[in-house]
Amino acid sequence: MGTVRTNRGIVVGVFARTAGAVLGIVVAIATGTPTTAHAQGYCAPGVPASCEAGTTCEPISATAGLCCPVDPARGTVPICIGPDGPAQATVLSSELIGLLTLAQDPRLAADLFTGPWTNWYYEPRERGLAKLAVMRGILERFNLVDTYVGGEAGIPLVTDPARPSVTCAAGPYARRNLDGTCNDPTNPLMGAAGTRFGRNVALAAAYPDEAAMLTPNPRTISLALLRRRGIAGSGFKPVPFLNNIAGAWTQFQIHDWFDHGPVQRRSHDTIEVPLSPLDPLRWRQRTLSIPRTRPDPTRVAGRDDGLPPTYTNEVTHWWDASQVYGSDEATANRLRAFTGGRMKMDARGMLPVGERGYADTGMRENFWLGLELLHNLFVREHNAIADMLARNYPDWDDQRLYDTARLINAALIAKIHTLEWTPAILPNSNLDIGMHANWYGLNHYTCPPLPPLPGLYPNPVVYGVVGNPDGRNLHGAAFSMTEEFVSVYRMHPLLPEQFLVRSARNHRLRDVVATEDTRDARGRALLQRHGMLDLLYSFGISNPGALVLDNYPQFLQDLDVPGRGTIDMGTIDIVRDRERGLPRYNDARELLRLPRVPDFLTLTGGDERMARRLEHVYGDIDQVDLMVGTLAEGQRPSCYGFGETLFQVFTVMATRRLQGDRFYTELYNAGTYTNEGLLWVEMNSMKSVLLRHFPELADTGLSDVANAFYPWD
């Protein structure tokens, strides 16, 4: 009997190979990740009643089989996931090859749409999953676009004239560089802080239209179509299946992924948005003055002249928890305790107070109470991991404990986002399978799971991305976050106008706080007054706003910012897309391999009143801005918290963030993370992190939900 070891340590004994069929295997779970679909005993193929009810005999040879669970959802359309979490899914190994074959059928690629909309969510599960795989493959081939020149014979070298010779010295152990350099020693600056954003559309379509920068007027759009209705935003539209921890988590992740840096401050580098005579801000100013995005300082005259405008990322592009640790050594050192691999916390177990009176942490821009909670929580988690490592590796010094704890904490955050946050905001059963397949591969659901088969391995659809030593794939483009990815994460409607602070012990109302009053030092004051326990509970039992029109927070449209006066984030969101060359909604859909939407009524899913309002502002469906169009989409995949145009960018970038990173592919192993670290990532979730640091939450509704991002009630 031949024996092989899969990428996550599942020991597989190979019994037989039949022509054109799946290998027969017996599975013994070792120290890796068990699959969801556990076999429940041996059976004899073709012998009636050799398996118990609810299972079927899956052959592993001519004379033997395994009793595998029968999945009642097989062949059914996807359903919405409730608070108990998704039902167990099973894919029989003999069917998996058929599923992969289906995804390669050109007839499937010709049947992705009904009218202008995708239709995978109307299909039986297997066909729907195959359609998602087809679309991802198309996007990976055509919609990962470099903003560095060269690459005709390979991936362009990421360059920066200020850093002409970055060297990647081999150390005693694998570790992430704080500035993101040397993730790939052959392209040392790829993904580093200070390097360019890529694109998900062709470069020819990424030029801003300066003549149409103010057409239609962005402030008019913000007030007429985005603004939350009612006095003080009383027309708030909630997402009933999410809590406000999920809303705060969104910005927590954004701060890890991208930041365009400080804006231009010179008066001639502004975009002046005229205010109408009836604008509520007109009494104090005639225009909204929006400083332009800082231009790319790494461009080289001559070499880069053929590129559209490009911009650089202040933070690393990698999924490395830079929002917690910083993207440079000076910031990281300021936050470290330099003992036991730990990070600084005060006597109350809180992050130290930094400049301007709030948490000192890796990324401090646009800070508010929700970020205070999550930054404090995951620094506590870092210290718990460091303590665990110190117990298991008493000979390690502070630096190695810190570096390894940072790796483990970042991987746990990435796993929480992939397997919990995303299926929470998109609670569709097929999407949940797809996200788990991103991490583990469909082998996670397969009974019995497949070993690394020649011609199939390392296919990430089967074997997953994370921990797949041969699964890294840049798809011909240097890794980076993209301007389109930045755009689709403009999710300000998630913010409510106010928070009710309640006691975690008895649900008693303690305070009513306007969200505007949770910013910066005021957020820290609330944290000190009410404590993390009650605030986490209050966020856990309340809902964020829906990603729709008429739901943009009013306080963000009349926001007083020191040194800048009154700003309107809705206006700025629209201007930023236009300034950075984001195509308008219909053009973006076409460039993202989706059909154009023919008219306003189709866009709104038949909502005639909203269609008239959109037409009144824009006049032409092809003038609709990308953000406005995505919020207006009335036709959405079943159970989704946002529409399919955003989802196209999610589809390509969700896998990309993992697949392009050596620390999630070839270096995601015990030699880098330790066995204990891999187990920590595998066995933990947002719920377990909350309960580890605040065990009192076990007596709340958190205990009754499978996913900590669901409402705790």
* Position 42 in a domain: yes
Q: Does residue 4 fall inside a structural domain?
A: yes
What total of structural domains would you count in the chain?
A: 1
Residue 21: predicted pLDDT: 27
- The per-residue pLDDT for 38 is 76
pLDDT the model gives residue 358? 97
Distance CA 123, CA 256 (A): 36
Q: Is residue 20 part of a domain?
A: yes
Q: Quick one: three-class SS letters along 150-214? A: CCCCCCCCCCCCCCCCCCCCCCCCCCCCCCCCCCCCCCCCCCCCCCECEECCCHHHCCCCHHHCC
pLDDT at res. 254: 97
pLDDT of residue 152: 61
What is the dihedral angle through the alpha carbons of 534, 539, 540, 545, rounded to the nearest 10 degrees?
A: 160
Q: Which residues contact 204 (CB under 8 A, 6 or more apart)?
A: none
Q: Which residues, other chains included, contact 450 with Cβ-Cβ below 8 Å and sequence gap of 6+?
A: 22, 23, 25, 93, 96, 443, 456, 462, 463
- Locate 392 and state its tokens: 């298991």
57 lies in which domain range?
Answer: 1-69
Q: Would 615 be classed as within a structural domain?
A: no
Give the number of residues written for the chain: 713
Catalytically annotated residue among 121, 489, 537, 668:
489
For residue 288, the SS3 value is strand
Q: In this structure, is the dihedral angle defined by the CA atoms of residues 101, 103, 105 and 108, taken in order, positive or negative?
A: positive
| 55 strand-pairing partners | 69
What residues of the chain score a pLDDT lower than 50? Answer: 1-36
List the one residue out of 20, 19, 2, 25 whose CA is nearest residue 443.
Answer: 25
CA separation for the pair 28, 4 (Å, rounded):
12
Q: Are 611 and 600 in contact (CB under 8 A)?
A: yes
| pLDDT score at 62 | 87
224 part of a folded domain: no
Cα gap 685→359, rounded to integer Å: 24
From residue 646, alpha-carbon distances to 13, 530, 637, 641 in Å are 43, 37, 11, 10
Residue 91: strand, helix, or coil: strand
Q: How many CB atoms lie within 10 A of CB 451?
A: 22
Residue carrying structure tokens 């905001």: 425
Give residues with Cβ within 8 angstroms of 669, minimum separation 6.
467, 469, 678
Convert the pLDDT of each residue in 539-581 to its tens digit: 999 999 999 999 999 999 988 877 777 899 999 999 999 999 9
Has residue 398 been placed in a domain?
no
Could you give the dihedral angle defined by the CA atoms of residues 503, 504, 507 and 508, in that order, rounded to the nearest 10 degrees? -10
Whether residue 504 lies inside any domain: the answer is no
Contact between residue 386 and residue 380 where contact means Cβ atoms under 8 Å apart: no
Residue-level pLDDT at 37? 64
Phi and psi dihedrals of 487, rounded to 5? -65, -45
Residue 5 lies in a domain: yes
Whether 489 is catalytic is yes
